Amino acid sequence: MRNRLVAGNWKMNGSLESVRALTRGILEGLDQVGDAGVAVCPPAIFIPEVAALTSGSALAVGGQNVCDQDSGAFTGEIAGSMLKEFGCRYAIVGHSERRNLYGETDDLVARRFVAARRNGLTPILCVGELLEEREAGDTEKVVARQLDAVLAVTGIEGFRDAVVAYEPVWAIGTGKTATPEQAQEVHAFIRNKLSEVDSTIADALTIQYGGSVKASNAEELFSMPDIDGGLIGGASLQADEFLAICRAAG
Ligand code: PEP
Q: Please say if the pLDDT value at position 56 is more than 90.
A: yes
Q: Looking at the 3D structure of the chain, how many domains does it have? A: 1
**What is the predicted pLDDT for the residue at 177?**
86
The catalytic residues are 95, 167
Q: 152-182: per-residue pLDDT in tens?
A: 999 999 999 999 999 999 999 888 888 999 9
What percentage of the chain exceeds 90 in pLDDT? 97
Closest residue by Cα to atom 8, ligand 1, is 233
Q: Please say if the pLDDT value at position 61 is more than 80.
A: yes
Name the residue among 162, 219, 183, 159 with its Cα closest to residue 34. 219
Q: Identify the band that residue 9 occupies on the pLDDT scale cut at 50, 70 and 90.
A: very high
Burial of 17 (0-12, 13-18, 19+ CB in 10 A): exposed
**What is the predicted pLDDT for the residue at 173?**
85
**What is the predicted pLDDT for the residue at 175?**
84
Contact 242, 9 (CB under 8 A): no
Burial of 154 (0-12, 13-18, 19+ CB in 10 A): middle
Name the residue among 102, 195, 176, 94 with its Cα closest to residue 134. 176
Amino acid type, 94: G
Report the CATH number at residue 222: 3.20.20.70
Residues listed for the chain: 250
Average pLDDT rounded to a whole number, residues 110-136: 97
The domain in which residue 135 lies consists of: 5-249
Name the residue among 146, 227, 217, 144 with its Cα closest to residue 187. 227
Q: 215-250: per-residue pLDDT in tens?
A: 999 999 999 999 999 999 999 999 999 999 999 998
Q: Give me the chain's average pLDDT, please.
A: 97
Ligand 1 pocket test, candidate residues 213, 227, 236, 237, most atoms within 8 A of CB:
213
Q: How far apart are CA 134 and CA 70, in angstroms?
A: 36
Q: Does this model's pTM top 0.95?
A: yes
Q: Phi first, then psi: what are they for 26, rounded to 5°? A: -70, -45
